[in-house]
Structure 1
Amino acid sequence: MASSHLLHYDNYSHWELIVKFLFVEGRIPGASDTIITFTSYPLASSLFVYYVADIVGFSSGTLLLGQFFLLFSCMYALFAVIRHRRIILTSALLCLVITVFNIFNIAIRMDNLLVDFLLPMVTLTGISGLISYQKNYWKMIIHGSLFFITLSLIKNSGIFFSLIVWSLLVFYLFRYCKKWKHRLLNILNSLVILGISCLPIILWNKHVKDTFSLSKHEVSVSAYETLFGEKGHAIIELIIHRFIDKSFSFSTLAFQGIIEINLILLISFLVIHFVVKRKNSLLSILVFTDLMIIFYYVGMLMMFLLSMPTQEALNLAGMNRYASSIVILAWGILGISLAREIDLSLFEQNIQKRNYKSFKNVSTKKIYQFSSLSIIFLSTLLALSEANGINYNNLNYSKTDPGLFSKITGDVMTPNNKKYLVVTTSKTNVADFYTAFVGKFYLFSPHVNAMENFVMSFSSFKKLLNQYDYVVI
């Protein structure tokens, strides 16, 4: 990770750019800082990465390490749900689930600063903490509140993920007491916690409204009305039709993942119920997971209709990336649930008595051993696959726009308002503004334009050049 480079479009349109701005300026952006486009995005993860860069030094590798510290701490926290750490099968299962994340994280990967992978990972950390603390009333409340606040301040869409943590907190608070009087009091307490936990994001949105006259992806009724009003009835119908088609297409990775999750949970429930002959919660978890996915997809559709410009909404821009977040979360819930149910289904339930002889018979011991070894082997292959994917990107870095900018202009660390024209042969990168955004980051100026087509008269060409201070070829 330390020798990796940032490639993804959104790093240069916002996530890496905001960290660079924080590093150079030492403050959050104001209305005059036009280089920052997504001014409504909260800064939680960006601030953490900034502090890492402030201590270690600013570079792509340092920023990636900072983000990976967050991701790895979330991965490590998942193991808090394991009742008995010496049971290799449950630990191996969680390792497998973590490496499976990389399959559905292919649109994001770990070698960038985007939060679409971070959001489900932080949510899973919140869930694993609540499961671990479910017998400690105050630890549950403090843990749940902190994770609600954290998730809501990572990105505006983090509110959905924070509500999942809060709903689990309510469930445990409700179950904590046997008497209905105490249960109702706990529900009231949870509503108070919710109100207090919402204060930071409310204050952030107030800051955005007070500071910026217009902010992209701002959370406000007026902004939603404006964007929704731009779309006619025919366009709205077309967006909905395309969204439904893509949501239920077997060619999409997200839908494949949802089908797999449902099959694994259903088969596991049936095996534990009829073969092991033990009641289990996997059917309830299956229903909860499906409802969670449905609500998330409805929220995604509302986002395309209400808060996205028409052309982006028609193209369902970023849908694969957004959908992967909820699939990763669902896979994590599946892994946590299976790990606990497998532990509860073992022959010896007294943890103190467990040893290498604690099996029903030799056959079950062999199944346990071969299952553990197979899962560890598969996890290692998937981890190596992700590492090889990142290495492949690094090998081709010099041919990319960031690689070329890094070589030609270097990374300018002084903000400026100079005007740059970037000449490139990539029509696609000009059309989707990728080259322009990369240029804004490396040249640290809001006035960067990219062009590929210069078929024009000499006078027009001369007039064009006179509009810029520099030309970058």
Structure 2
Amino acid sequence: MYHDIEMYIVSMPYAEAILLDGSERYLSSMVILNLLLATMVLVVAMDRASFEQDVNKRGIRSFSNVITKNVYQLSSLVLMLFASILMFSEINGIKYNNTLGKEQLPVQLKQTAQQSTQYNHQKILLVDPHFNDVNNYYAGYVGRYYFFSDQVVGQENFMMSQAEFKNTIKQYDYVVLPEWHRTFTTMLEKTYYQDYKTGLFKVTKDGLQKVNKINV
């Protein structure tokens, strides 16, 4: 998610990016501050529920009445459960980023090619084996912001003849393979006698030439 936000901010004018970034940080700080104040008020209220204010003298009979004792115990239990849920949620989030997150398209693009920071009009074919990512324009959206080009097209279906495949490739300046695509790899081998599974490639008359970044 951080990578998506970074790409979005880079594509905006500098003044707008600074304004939004400052607003986000201010709002985040206010949320954290309000949570801290609410927690402090709750702790003070729970402390005042005890009849005995001296902590060293407190015991099971140190509450004003049975109701305050039950509220104190129930609140402590709820806070403990809430803290445990947040802790496990954070742990699972870290595990997701370290394992499943590696399969996300923004992460795969970062491992495949160098990100472009200068606006360009290079025609780029983004080969994605996931139909849903192409159908809902997610692949094209991510590709355009990553390569900073308005000519990035995501495609999943390559069930075509060799002539059609060659004509399709010739329409672009670059081809991106962030993940192995069975059909595309098979067609590439039959048409150009090349065996590529992942990477960034420049389109030439003889097929694909592997590169590290696009030339703006």
TM-score under structure 1 length normalisation:
0.31
SS of structure 2 residue aligned to 1:87 = helix
Mapped contact 1:19–1:47 kept (Cα < 8 A): no
Which amino acid counterpart does residue 94 of structure 2 have in structure 1?
N
Mapped contact 1:440–1:446 kept (Cα < 8 A): yes
Q: 1:355 aligns with which of 16, 39, 53?
A: 53
Mapped to 1, the partners of 2:45 and 2:64 lie a distance apart of 17
5+ unaligned residues in a row in structure 1: which ranges? 29-42, 52-65, 91-342, 349-353
5+ unaligned residues in a row in structure 2: which ranges? 178-216
Mapped to 2, the partners of 1:410 and 1:89 lie a distance apart of 55
Which amino acid counterpart does residue 366 of structure 1 have in structure 2?
K
Mapped contact 1:89–1:371 kept (Cα < 8 A): no
Q: 2:113 aligns with which of 382, 387, 409?
A: 409
- Within 5 Å, give how 1:430-469 maps onto structure 2: 430-469=134-173
Mapped contact 1:409–1:443 kept (Cα < 8 A): no
Mapped contact 1:411–1:443 kept (Cα < 8 A): yes
Query: By how many angstroms is 1:366 displaced?
Result: 3.2
Report whether the alignment pairs 1:375 with 2:78.
yes
Which residue number corresponds to residue 192 of structure 2?
none
- Within 5 Å, give how 1:11-26 maps onto structure 2: 11=4, 16-22=6-12, 25-26=13-14
Mapped to 1, the partners of 2:110 and 2:123 lie a distance apart of 18
Query: By how many angstroms is 1:377 displaced?
Result: 1.0
Mapped to 2, the partners of 1:424 and 1:67 lie a distance apart of 33
Which amino acid counterpart does residue 451 of structure 1 have in structure 2?
Q
Query: By how many angstroms is 1:80 displaced?
Result: 4.6
Mapped contact 1:422–1:472 kept (Cα < 8 A): yes
- Within 5 Å, give how 1:110-129 maps onto structure 2: none
Report whether the alignment pairs 1:391 with 2:94.
yes
Query: By how many angstroms is 1:441 displaced?
Result: 1.7
Name the structure with the higher helix share. Answer: 1
Mapped to 1, the partners of 2:76 and 2:39 lie a distance apart of 18
Which amino acid counterpart does residue 89 of structure 2 have in structure 1?
E
Query: By how many angstroms is 1:88 displaced?
Result: 5.6
Which residue number corresponds to residue 204 of structure 2?
none
Which amino acid counterpart does residue 404 of structure 1 have in structure 2?
Q
Superposition CA RMSD, Å: 3.4
Report whether the alignment pairs 1:47 with 2:19.
yes
- Within 5 Å, give how 1:153-168 maps onto structure 2: none
Mapped to 2, the partners of 1:382 and 1:468 lie a distance apart of 49
Aligned residues: 170
- Within 5 Å, give how 1:195-210 maps onto structure 2: none
Query: By how many angstroms is 1:19 displaced?
Result: 1.0
Mapped contact 1:427–1:452 kept (Cα < 8 A): yes
Which amino acid counterpart does residue 423 of structure 1 have in structure 2?
V
Query: By how many angstroms is 1:397 displaced?
Result: 2.0
After superposition, give the CA deviation of every residue in 1:169-207 in whole Å (9 maximum; x if it has no partner). Answer: xxxxxxxxxxxxxxxxxxxxxxxxxxxxxxxxxxxxxxx
Mapped to 1, the partners of 2:42 and 2:159 lie a distance apart of 68
Query: By how many angstroms is 1:455 displaced?
Result: 1.5
Mapped contact 1:421–1:449 kept (Cα < 8 A): yes
Query: By how many angstroms is 1:405 displaced?
Result: 0.3
Rate the CA distance shift 1:371–1:79 in 2: closer, same or farther, 3 A: same
Which amino acid counterpart does residue 389 of structure 1 have in structure 2?
N
Name the structure with the higher strand share. Answer: 2
Mapped contact 1:402–1:438 kept (Cα < 8 A): yes
Rate the CA distance shift 1:48–1:442 in 2: closer, same or farther, 3 A: same
Query: By how many angstroms is 1:367 displaced?
Result: 1.8
Query: By how many angstroms is 1:72 displaced?
Result: 5.0
Mapped to 1, the partners of 2:116 and 2:143 lie a distance apart of 10
Rate the CA distance shift 1:416–1:88 in 2: closer, same or farther, 3 A: farther
Larger RCO of the pair (alpha carbons < 8 Å, separation 6+): 1
Q: 2:34 aligns with which of 71, 74, 77?
A: 77
